[in-house]
Amino acid sequence: MVIPADMAELAERPPETPAPEGACHDAPTRLMVVRYDEKHYEELSVESVEQCLSLRDAPPVVWIDVDALRDAEAVAKLGEAYGLHPLVLEDILTTTQRPKLEDLGGSLFVVIKMLSYDRETHEIHHEQMSLVIGPTYVLSFQEVKGDAFAPIRERLKRAGARIRRMGADYLAYALIDLIVDGYFDVLEQVGERIEDLEDALVTNSTSETLHAIHHLKRQMIFFRRAAWPLREVIGALGRGESRMIHQETRVYLRDLLDHTFQIMDSVDTFRDMLSGMLDMYLSSLSNRMNEIMKVLTIIATLFIPLTFVTGLYGMNFRYMPELEWRYGYLFVWGIILLVFLAMLAYFRRKRWL
């Protein structure tokens, strides 16, 4: 087996040295620094970590956004400058972490999952997002390249906006709230997909419909694994167990916690609907098979007396009265038609047809 160069390099690193898991992101790491207060706003795209560090102590609030985790060395330098433990850096770069909250004493470390829905493939894509929340700063680490936080920067540009008057904890709340809103967008897309599958199930269900239901059910299981720990994270932030979260922000976090409850209710509802659709598909399949068997049984039943009549007159006895009769052939056909019509009338009367 050939080991990729990135993986071989990763295996040779000491355990405390952070490295992106799998080193699978080809996009270069992009550093964006936003610093602001109630009256001033500045947004800078920097080339190196050293430039970030030279700006960290200037305004009341500094937000450093690390987009794509390709450059592990830059992440390590940034973490060292802000006093992050190597294990925390390892959690940032290991993008298979479970959503969680850790109190680091002088800061908070949050790991959550950002979700998005692909309409073409009907896949729910996920991306790990890590936050370090300090007294006057927020560090955000996005797993893959993409401007996921553009709406937050647009809000920060508006003078007089609430986010400009609040501290770093409110900025962290705004980032998490944007991610939770993304969960609702995914649920809306999943709801539309379920409606399409329901229509296909009622009108013309096929084996592809069954595969789609199974696939979506697995997707909802994954969704639940991402959303369930998020409720614990936001609940812990809202309880005010850390001095990093001010009383004014806890109100918003408690409202955000209600949103996570709504998400979980929707997820459970969709899972129940998919289970019901699966049962409905199996029932429709069974009913279709019963209808086929019913038609075949009726056809076979109709031909039983007809087979008896033809078999009776097909016997090779020499002395049979009807054999020499001029109208014997028509007489047999009359018997066959009479029996056939009588049985049809009986079946209709019993509502078997």
Handedness of CA 334, 335, 341, 345 (dihedral sign): positive
- More confident: 2 or 265: 265
108-118: strand order across its sheet: 41-46, 30-36, 61-67, 137-142, 123-133, 108-118, 100-103
The full length of the chain comes to: 353
Which residue has better confidence, 248 or 286? Answer: 248
C-beta neighbour count of 193 within 10 angstroms: 18
Q: Mean pLDDT of all residues in the chain?
A: 83
Q: H/E element holding 13?
A: none
> Of 68 and 266, which is predicted with more confidence?
266
What pLDDT digit, counting tens, does each position of 264-298 carry? Answer: 999 999 988 888 888 888 887 787 888 888 888 88
The answer on pLDDT for 9 being more than 50 is: no
Is residue 10's pLDDT more than 60?
Answer: no
- Residue 43: phi and psi, rounded to 5, are -125, 125
Percent of the chain at pLDDT > 90 equals 19
Q: What residue type is assigned to position 197 of the chain?
A: L
pLDDT tens across 132-142, in order?
Answer: 998 889 999 98
Residue 16 has pLDDT above 50, yes or no: no
Superfamily of domain 5-283: CorA soluble domain-like (3.30.460.20)
Report domain extents, the chain. Answer: 5-283, 313-349
Under the banding of pLDDT at 50, 70 and 90, the label for residue 27 is low
Residue-wise pLDDT for 39-63, tens only, equals: 888 888 777 777 777 666 666 889 9
* Distance from C-alpha of 287 to C-alpha of 348, rounded to nearest angstrom: 20
CA distances from residue 191 to 164, 178, 270, 324 in whole angstroms, order as listed: 36, 20, 8, 76
pLDDT tens digits for range 187-237: 999 999 998 888 888 777 778 888 888 888 888 888 988 888 898 899 888
Q: Which of 99-108, 146-155, 266-275, 315-324 has the least mean pLDDT?
A: 315-324
73 band by pLDDT with thresholds 50, 70 and 90: confident
Q: The tokens of 143 are what?
A: 């797993």
Q: Give Cα 254 to chain centroid, integer Å.
A: 24
Rounded to two decimals, the pTM is 0.75
Longest CA pairwise span in the chain (Å): 121
Q: What local confidence, expressed as pLDDT, does residue 56 receive?
A: 64
Task: Say whether pLDDT at 23 is over 60.
Answer: no
Q: What percent of the chain is helix, strand and coil (3-state, nearest 5)?
A: 60, 15, 25
Higher pLDDT, 33 or 3: 33
Measured distance CA(101)–CA(227) in Å, rounded: 14
Q: Which residues pair with 46 in a beta bridge?
A: 31
β-bridge mates for residue 36, sequence order: 41, 61
